[in-house]
Amino acid sequence: MIVNIFNFVSYNFRRMIQRIQTLYLLAADLLVSALFLLPFAELSGKEGKLFLFHLTGLITWTTGKGDIVLDTWPLLVITCLIAALLIVVIFQYKNRQLQIKLSYLAVFLLVGLTGLIYFYVWKGSALTGGTYSFKVCFTFPLIAAVFVWLATRGIIKDENLVKSIDRIR
């Protein structure tokens, strides 16, 4: 019984990973998940204070602990939603039409996340009166959007292939 369940799960997992679009979606999910750990901008205030911009907010380090200056909970919520959505898209490999629609939604959310990140960094620099510089992590949502777009192209190719085979029958 347990061996049969393991074989079934193993077969479906191998079948899912054989598609290149699954690897694209997995890479996009890893890039989005990296935003939870890494700061995506650095601000230097008027008094020479250094601020780091994370998903949880604009943080300054004083007295050995981080103090949140600007709270950015919408960034955290949207990033969690995108990471979960990409996992759902990966496991919808049997329903290609839904996978395509969810992929388009993910691209839209990723581009919106980039714009929202830029807005919050701009707002934080106005709040602190300093200048900002973006880190490499700022580009992660855009790179993830490109990966999701490439995955969507592969899914559409698969769907067209299945439709052409059905016409032959």
Domain boundaries, the chain: 2-168
- Of the chain, the end-to-end C-alpha distance in Å amounts to 37
Over residues 150-155, mean pLDDT:
93
Q: Could you give the CA distance from residue 90 to residue 128 in angstroms, rounded to a whole number?
A: 41
Rounded mean pLDDT of 158-162? 85
User: Which residue from 52, 106, 44, 48 is spatially nearest to 79, judged by alpha carbons?
Assistant: 106
- Tell me the torsion sign for CA atoms 54, 55, 58, 63: negative
Q: Tell me what pLDDT residue 48 has.
A: 74
7 pLDDT higher than 80? no
What is the pLDDT averaged over residues 141-156? Answer: 95
Cα–Cα distance for residue pair 55/74, rounded to 1 Å: 9
pLDDT for res 9 = 53
> Could you tell me how many residues make up the chain?
169
The predicted pLDDT at position 1 comes to 63
Name the residue among 148, 71, 74 with its Cα closest to residue 110: 148
Model confidence at 120: pLDDT above 60? yes
User: Contact 148/25 with Cβ under 8 angstroms?
Assistant: yes
Number of Cβ within 10 Å of residue 24's Cβ equals: 23
Of 66, 31, 34, nearest in space to 150 by CA = 31
Fold of the domain spanning 2-168 = Butyryl-CoA Dehydrogenase, subunit A; domain 3 (1.20.140)
Tens of pLDDT, residue by residue over 57-112, are: 888 765 456 677 777 888 999 999 999 999 999 998 888 899 999 999 999 999 99
Question: Cα–Cα distance between 160 and 60 in angstroms, integer?
Answer: 52
Q: What pLDDT is attached to residue 103?
A: 95
Which tops the pLDDT comparison, 72 or 145?
145
| 114 — pLDDT class (breaks 50, 70, 90) | very high
**117 touches 137 (CB < 8 A):** no
Who's near 73: CB < 8 A, 6+ residues apart? 56, 57
pLDDT at 57: 82
Return d(Cα 169, Cα 148) in angstroms, integer: 32
**Inter-residue contact 129 to 46 (CB < 8 Å):** yes
